[in-house]
Each structure stands twice: as structure tokens, then as C-alpha cells.
Amino acid sequence: MTDTKSTEHPERLRNGDFTDNSDPFVLFADWMEEASRTEPNDPNAMALATAGADGFPDVRMVLLKGFDEAGFVFYTNQESAKGRELDERPQAALAFHWKTLRRQVRVRGNVERVSDAEADAYFATRPRLAQIGAWASKQSSPLASRLAFEMAVTKVTARYAIGTIPRPPFWTGFRVVPLTIEFWHDRPFRLHDRIVFSRANEGAGWLKTRLYP
């Protein structure tokens, strides 16, 4: 799996034309690479939409931590609200918005957990304090006070004072395996470019369609 940076394609980036591209992942890699140079904060930030048991949608910002032709990966506490919702209803939508580039990408698809090996490998790259925080936080559960959280962090810090911190069994990654990927690019007078790639099922070929903006 690649990280959120990719090899630059100067010609495509320079002319800004993406409508002749037939591979949505190559196009996404181009846009993400350019966003990494222009966005002031978190170019890999994306809105993640899930559905609750009550049928209401939930949406929040998370960070894309890797992507390839298999899908888009992020990591979280699986006992969090989004983790529970994805385990119960494994479908999700993503939205990237790069304001400086006036571009947007939307993704819809099925969701699967990454392998333990993938989760272990990524967890090992996190800063030590972030690893401690993953153990200390009962994400999405009621918290009596900030002090209670700080005490939990202190206990975990003492527990893992030396040596490698293992990945918590309740912390893992999710992969959104896309069935549709839509690219939107701002144009003057709201005459935008909008292209959607779709496929009937995972592993099938992509159908590209231009949409009215």
C-alpha cells in the first residue's frame, strides 16, 4: 500500500485536465500529491460518513493513512461510534475537499478491516504518545473529567515505561473499497467539471461518466 503521497505526473498537474484519465486511482494520486504541496493543513483529511442503528447518518473528519487499488484506509478504535457502526453496517462514504485547489473527491463503497499485520505495521509508526493515547482513550464513551483522562494516560505511560508499545486489540484499520469515485473541479461561472467512475462490484472494471455540474 502506498502512503498518502504519490509520484508526481507533471503534465497532468500542469494543465489541470483530468477528464481523459481512465484510472481513478492514478487520478486520485495526482490530486493528493498536488494537495500535499498546496494545502496548509492535513491534505489527507477526509469526511467519513456512516449510518447509526437508528438510521441517522454520522459524519466526522478522519485522516487517510494509505490508499491503493484495494481502497482507502484509516485507523481508529473499533469500539468508537464509527467503529461500531462500520462493524454493524459495513458501508461508508468519504469526501475530500481541497479548498486551495478548488477540488473535491467523493467515494462510496463497502468497508472491511485491514489485516492484523497492516494494523501492527502502521501502529508501530505512530509517535509514542499517540500509541499511549490509543490505549488510554475509551473513544466515544462518556468521560467524567479531563483529569480522569490524564490519569489514564499516566497509568498507561507507567505500564509501558520502557520497550515497545503493542497495538491495542481494540484498535485497527478500516478500508473503504470503492464502488464509485467522483471527481469535481471548480470552473468559472459554476461551469464545473464533474466525472464519476463506477463499477458494479469489487474487482470489476470502471465505467467513467461525465455529469452535469
Distance CA 67, CA 26 (A): 11
Residue 161: alpha-carbon gap to chain centroid: 31
Distance CA 90, CA 209 (A): 26
Catalytic residue among 126, 190, 199, 210: 190
124: number of Cβ within 10 Å: 12
106 is catalytic: no
What is the dihedral sign for C-alpha 119, 76, 92, 24? negative
Sequence-separated (6 or more) residues with CB below 8 Å from residue 50: 57, 58, 59, 82, 85, 86, 89, 92
Q: Do residues 193 and 185 make contact, with C-beta atoms less than 8 angstroms apart?
A: yes
- Please give the positions annotated as active site: 190
